[in-house]
Amino acid sequence: MIRAFLNAELVCPVGGVSRGGVLVREGAIVATGMFDVPADAETIDCGGKTLAPGIVDFGVFAIDRAAFRAGGIVRVGVMPDQSPVLDDPGIVQRAALIGKPDLWIHPIAAATRGLQGEDLAEMAICLSAGARAIGTGRRWIADSGVMHRVLAYARDLDVAVVTHAEDGGLAAGAVATAGETATRLGLPAAPAVAEALAIARDLMLAEDTGARLHLRNVTTAAGFDLVRAAKRRGVAVTCGITPAYLHLSDIAVSDFRTFAHLSPPLRAEADRQAAVAAIADGTIDLLCSGHDPHGPEAKRLPFADSDAGMAGAETLLPLALMLVRDAAIDLPRLFALLSRNPAQVLGLDAGTLEIGKPADLLLYDSAAPWQIVGDAFKGSAGNTPFAGLPVQGRVLRLWKGGREIQG
């Protein structure tokens, strides 16, 4: 099957922004820009809209096909915190296969059995079953000896370790960041330094072992400073963030809004500004949804009793485009954050519009205005702290390996 995507604004993390089209043969990109259209090609007029690599969403907590389709997501790195936990090769293999052909699921296998932070899981066997990374899940491994062994084993396997960077001793039981807002509301809180402490230890262990470390969500100025310094020293570290920490501060929980109960908790305004600066200067490598949908039974509760997390897949693109609108980054850099870099952490040869790459394509209208309404989400839940926010950028169509994914 040959498909010619024509009359588009092309955005590629490697090739930049240009006008033209993409020619796809047998699921792979064979030409971009201006090319002769084969007589037997199916033509798709993009109508001048933007054609970019499909989003690779790293670190989701639930497989939510409708939400991923609406958000322009073609691949997901799923966290090990599933039921059952992704610590067994049979479970990992099933997780890797259930989404195909429309959605490719790349499991992040548990670093320890049951994610308990004690005994190492069968990482090598899980990788052979389809896992693409090793993760600590929602929790930090408190035992430094265990974490050192995890990193050393992962180094030998040449796979990244994905960690939740929050010192469990400080953050246990906390639902907010210590400060004026938490004090005024009487919420159990932990100091923001809990993140920096966890990052500092994990960076030192990664440097000692030579392992690849990915910090799933860095959200504080101190954390970004530690990552910058480690990168300068040559530590193999990458870090990610979700849009909530770029656009919201802890003020968003002022009326006990449980939709703003996240993990890690929202930070002070100074940390939010530091996060935007870290996106702009290249410290942050990945921009992901952290998709963690919860229904009213988990969110319509007193703040401290509610579950942490938000449904982020359907709003990832428009919230990310706000960074381009505000001139923090340009479009090629945005799709490096959304597509190429997450693919690289997972060891995938995808995420660009280069010739030979999989034809995972996203067509969107960057100027389409809409208002975020959680109740109107396509996915399994609409627990978003951005309800009511006007945004721009709508996904129009989506292809995986040149095959269109229907809504």
HEC-encoded secondary structure of 304-325:
HHCCCCECCHHHHHHHHHHHHH
- Residue 49 confidence (pLDDT) above 80: yes
pLDDT for 60:
98
Whole-angstrom Cα distance, residue 66 to residue 63?
Answer: 9
Are the CB atoms for 402 and 3 separated by under 8 Å?
A: yes
pLDDT tens digit string along 9-47? 999 999 999 999 999 999 999 999 999 999 999 999 999
What confidence category does residue 133 fall into, taking pLDDT thresholds of 50, 70 and 90?
Answer: very high
Strand extents, DSSP E, 324-372: 361-371
Q: Name the pLDDT band for 73 (thresholds 50, 70, 90).
A: very high
For residue 132, CA distances in Å to 212, 246, 263 come to: 13, 27, 23
DSSP label at residue 96: H
Domains of the chain: 2-49+397-404 (2.30.40.10), 54-352+366-393 (3.20.20.140)
- pLDDT for residue 407 is more than 80: no
pLDDT at 365 over 90: yes
Residue from 366, 354, 218 nearest 290 by CA: 218
pLDDT of residue 96: 95
pLDDT tens-digit series, residues 373-406: 999 999 999 999 999 999 999 999 999 999 999 8
Q: What are phi and psi of 18, to 5 degrees?
A: -155, 175
Rounded to an integer, the average pLDDT of 127-131 is 97
Query: Mean of the per-residue pLDDT values for the chain?
Result: 97
Give tens-digit pLDDT for 162-186: 999 999 999 999 999 999 999 999 9
CA dist 307 and 305 (Å) reads 7
Checking if the pLDDT of 281 tops 80, the result is yes
The mean pLDDT value for 120-147 works out to 97
**What angle, rounded to 10 degrees, do the helices at 221-233 and 269-281 form?**
30
Neighbours of 404 (CB within 10 A): 14
Written as six digits, the tokens of 184 are: 């005024």
Confidence tier at 78 by pLDDT (50, 70, 90): very high
How much is the pLDDT for 1? 87
Beta-strand runs (E) in 2-93: 2-12, 16-25, 28-33, 42-45, 50-53, 55-60, 73-78
Query: Which pLDDT does position 248 carry in this prediction?
Result: 98
The string of pLDDT tens digits covering residues 200-256 is 999 999 999 999 999 999 999 999 999 999 999 999 999 999 999 999 999 999 999
Q: Which pLDDT value is given to residue 406?
A: 86
Residues in the chain: 407
pTM, full prediction: 0.96
Residues 75 and 72: their CA atoms lie apart, in Å, by: 10
